Structure 1
Amino acid sequence: MEKIQNPKHPTQITHYSLSRLLERASYYGLRSLVILYMVGETLHMEDDEAFSIYGWFTGSLIFSQIIGAFMGDLLIGNRKAILLGGILQAIGAFCLSLPSLFGLYVGLFLVVLGSGFFTPNIISNFGKLYLNNSKLLDSGYTIFYLAVNLGSFLGVLFMGYLNEKVSYRSGFIIAGIMMLLSLTPILISKEKTIHQLVKSNSSIVKRILNILIAFFAIGLFWGVYESSGIRIFNLQFQFKEISSFYLSEYLWESMNSVFIFPISLIAIVVWTYVYSHPFFKLMLGFIFGIIALGILFLIPEIPTEQHVITYLVSLFFLGVSEIHIAPVIYSILTKYTNPKYLAIMVSLAFIPTRLFHIIFSVFNDKFYENPLLPLKIGIFAMTCVLIGIISYLLFTKKPSR
């Protein structure tokens, strides 16, 4: 580790972070309403049909992101792709407010397409702000990641309130307005041009290896995270019933986000002033992840109220693990990818995450029968990755910074 001399984040960081916060608040708020809207009194869908459409909605995002990334990097530019994506999502949200199947399908299609244009391109443009000061990349992307989590948390909370107090339609309209507002910071910010950027000094082989390791690490992490979520959800449900502490159902469900906020703030401050190699952070992330799953493993299948603290400690370590992995992956991609194709590489990073999700979902029936099984598999898988990262750090004589 080394101290960073005169650390200074780009002035445009506020613009991009605010834009991402508003866009995520709109997007996740909209997502939280869609299922309820489909099975509600307006469309009267069966649960199976509604979940099938929702599955198509979420599953299509990976393809739309690849399309949006290629358009942004190769044809229209990242900034125009961001603006187009925001407009498409806003129109989609307004279409969803029309009480009809036509409005539903057109609205979901436009939201998926718009998110595909918006997400990889704004991540790419944000990272380009830091390429002349790559030691602040980890801290910068953590600020960005905090904006994403805060936006999704507030969006779901706000849209849930609107749904309960007003109507679905008002929620979709507000989501569309928020999406348009998210474009304002982008319009007043300046786009980073390629000739201003500094390229990595690493060899092409090492850059490719770093990117492949990042792809595998993030895919496996989210795969383990989602499979262990079965156990977390099971404990969450039981603790809601037996705990003497009154917490709303939404707060129980969002407990991980509650930990993410302070952990992110601490990481932002520390990583702004103290630099360590991103693969060292990945190593710590998998160590904390193993600890989190190990603590969960210690809680019996039928817990008592005394195990609530143990459960919360596990979620805390899981949050620390997430912050050491999720935003850092984007730092690695930004540092070792040709800036001209950064949005494309960001979009491709969603593929291993999806693949690991599919692999782990094959065993969901067994995981529900034995909630401790995904914890065992997760600990084993994360330990293997941890050993691989440690070996890589040891055999790399001069890690590229």
Structure 2
Amino acid sequence: MEVTLQGQRSDHSSSKKHPPGLYLLFFTELWERFSYYGLRSLLVLYLTTSYIQGGLGFKETTAMSIYGLYTGATYWTPIIGGYLTDRFFGRRVAITLGGITIAIGNIILFAKHSNWGLYLGLAFIILGNGFFKPNISTLVGELYAVNDKRRDAAFTIFYMGINLGAFMAPLICGFLAEDLFKTKVNEVIHYGFQYGFLVSSIGMILGQVIFNLFGKRYLGDIGKKPVGRRDKGKNNNKPLTKKEKQRTAVIFILTVFVIFFWAGFEQAGSSLTVYTNTFVHREIFGWTIPTSWFQSVNPLFIILLAPLVSALWLKLANSKKADLPIPTKMGLGMILLGLGYIILLFAVLQTGSNPNHIPHKAHILFIVATYLLHTLGELFLSPVGLSLVSQIAPVKLTSLLMGIWLAGNGIANILAGQLAAFTQSLGYFEVFSLIGITSILLGIILLFISKKLVKMME
């Protein structure tokens, strides 16, 4: 199966090439993720840095809670955005509307160094994400027939776009904020966080320009009309069949499992950032690596490993005996996440949790190894999860169910913020142990029920 330049599906599913529309969506998502991860890499540092140094001076526990609520909300609004898109907007219009709103939010953060500027800017970004996020992933699925063997590989390639943007953003935004625009006045260091926010908005605008310039050429009519309006009087008002209800149930069941995966994974922007900033030895040849740069370790591993994992899934898909069902892949992903935290516990045993008394700073390889295992877990779980939702969701509910899938990330991010805050009261060892052991146990449970879920999906 191929998609022509006009964006129309054909039935040549044996083709090894991916449609050009995939790469347009790849670059559109790349720049949106650049915007998101540029802000994400700086947010906790911006919140906890004193006002006179360019931050807002929040306590660490408050900053982590705000971070969790913000990142959580960005995954809740896709339910509303998905619902409205299915009924009133074309997906491509929703992507453009969301992109513009996100850019405005970053510009507000750049222009207003104040609490109300923070809340207003984040509100715009949260709202815009609700329209953008569920629809870009759904468009990828629409490029392929339901049984096309290239789907999992396509979503893994798409995932590379996400992580290329996520890789570049902390390096560029972090360099601007923590190095290039860092000044020293009367022995007080002032950071240029606002310039990181400005570059995030520029990235978002660039992505929208590319999407709208080449959308007609590479997507054709895909995503132009709302699904509900297109199917009105045809299939849209029919009740769900028994099989559609079972498949919808699978989406909800897997969403519950992955909530805890993301609660552990999203410590990267909060507790792992604070731990790295305080307890990890970051000096190389006399130069201190900016803390925000560690946010690029995970996407760098994604870029390096995604082609290998994509090739693995394609090879297994062509071998019916060796192929792994998606729930099994996701269960293995949860176990890998847990193992990453087990490795990090050895670092915490050296450093302790008291920032005022650090017996020995942790070697940088501990945090790198943790991110490596987390990356492998992410590749086993997230892109195939997106592929699954686009594949088995009833057509008239595709964007809504994609929004619900992403809302699971919302719950996870709120939970992640609370877990991160507990590191300041209970300690890093206790919280990281809880996350690691629970993730491994849930992964094992998912492996055991995988066959049942596959049967419900068929």
- Place the TM-score, normalised by the shorter chain, in its bin: 0.7 to 0.9
CA deviation string 1:57-96 (max 9, x = no partner):
4443244322222221111121110011112222333344
Residues matched between the structures, number: 395
Query: 1:95-244 counterparts in 2 under 5 A?
Result: 95-99=108-112, 106-163=120-177, 164-166=179-181, 171-187=196-212, 188-189=214-215, 190=219, 191-192=221-222, 203-226=243-266, 230=271, 234=275, 237-240=278-281
Partner letter of residue 165 of structure 1?
A: L
Does residue 319 (structure 1) correspond to residue 319 (structure 2)? The answer is no
What is aligned with 2:310?
Answer: 268
CA contact (8 A) 1:121 1:343 kept: yes
1:342–1:41 distance in 2 versus 1, CA, 3 Å? farther
What is aligned with 2:297?
Answer: 255
Partner letter of residue 343 of structure 2?
A: I
d(CA) in 2 for partners of 1:126, 1:103: 35
2:46 equivalent among 16, 20, 36:
36
More moved, 252-261 vs 174-183:
252-261
More moved, 134-143 vs 361-370:
361-370
- Offset of 1:293 from its aligned partner? 3.4
CA contact (8 A) 2:280 2:362 kept: no
What is aligned with 2:439?
Answer: 382
1:70 equivalent among 83, 96, 113:
83
- Offset of 1:393 from its aligned partner? 3.0
Does residue 287 (structure 1) correspond to residue 335 (structure 2)? The answer is yes
d(CA) in 1 for partners of 2:141, 2:393: 11
Partner letter of residue 160 of structure 1?
A: G
1:371–1:44 distance in 2 versus 1, CA, 3 Å? closer
- Offset of 1:230 from its aligned partner? 4.3
Partner letter of residue 411 of structure 2?
A: L
d(CA) in 1 for partners of 2:306, 2:85: 29
- Offset of 1:116 from its aligned partner? 1.7
CA deviation string 1:300-349 (max 9, x = no partner):
60167996656544432222111101212111211111233222212212
What is aligned with 1:339?
Answer: 395
What is aligned with 2:349?
Answer: 301
CA contact (8 A) 2:340 2:370 kept: yes
CA contact (8 A) 1:143 1:264 kept: yes
- Offset of 1:106 from its aligned partner? 4.5
d(CA) in 1 for partners of 2:149, 2:310: 12
- Offset of 1:267 from its aligned partner? 1.1
Does residue 11 (structure 1) correspond to residue 53 (structure 2)? The answer is no
CA contact (8 A) 1:289 1:382 kept: yes
CA contact (8 A) 2:68 2:414 kept: no
d(CA) in 2 for partners of 1:103, 1:232: 23
Partner letter of residue 58 of structure 2?
A: D
Stretches of structure 1 that go unaligned for 5 or more consecutive residues are: none
d(CA) in 2 for partners of 1:360, 1:177: 29
Query: 1:365-380 counterparts in 2 under 5 A?
Result: 367-368=423-424, 369-380=426-437
Q: Please report the TM-score for the alignment, with normalisation by the length of structure 1.
A: 0.81
Does residue 94 (structure 1) correspond to residue 107 (structure 2)? The answer is yes
CA contact (8 A) 2:246 2:457 kept: no
d(CA) in 1 for partners of 2:88, 2:375: 38
d(CA) in 2 for partners of 1:212, 1:40: 43
CA contact (8 A) 2:259 2:412 kept: yes
What is aligned with 2:450?
Answer: 393
1:92–1:237 distance in 2 versus 1, CA, 3 Å? closer
1:104–1:239 distance in 2 versus 1, CA, 3 Å? closer
CA contact (8 A) 1:22 1:179 kept: yes
d(CA) in 2 for partners of 1:306, 1:33: 22
- Offset of 1:358 from its aligned partner? 4.3
- Offset of 1:248 from its aligned partner? 1.6
Does residue 85 (structure 1) correspond to residue 125 (structure 2)? The answer is no
CA contact (8 A) 1:240 1:252 kept: no
SS of residue paired to 1:108: helix
1:278 equivalent among 323, 326, 329:
326
- Offset of 1:179 from its aligned partner? 1.7
- Offset of 1:294 from its aligned partner? 3.5
- Offset of 1:373 from its aligned partner? 2.7
CA deviation string 1:226-284 (max 9, x = no partner):
46984786477444168889772344454333323212121123223432321231132
Partner letter of residue 287 of structure 1?
A: I
1:364–1:55 distance in 2 versus 1, CA, 3 Å? closer
Q: Please report the TM-score for the alignment, with normalisation by the length of structure 2.
A: 0.72
2:35 equivalent among 23, 26, 47:
26
Partner letter of residue 384 of structure 2?
A: V
More moved, 100-109 vs 285-294:
100-109
d(CA) in 2 for partners of 1:45, 1:380: 35
d(CA) in 1 for partners of 2:431, 2:136: 34
CA contact (8 A) 2:71 2:414 kept: no
1:305–1:245 distance in 2 versus 1, CA, 3 Å? farther
Partner letter of residue 264 of structure 1?
A: A
CA contact (8 A) 1:243 1:305 kept: no
1:272–1:237 distance in 2 versus 1, CA, 3 Å? farther
d(CA) in 1 for partners of 2:99, 2:253: 32
**Cα RMSD after superposing both structures:** 3.9
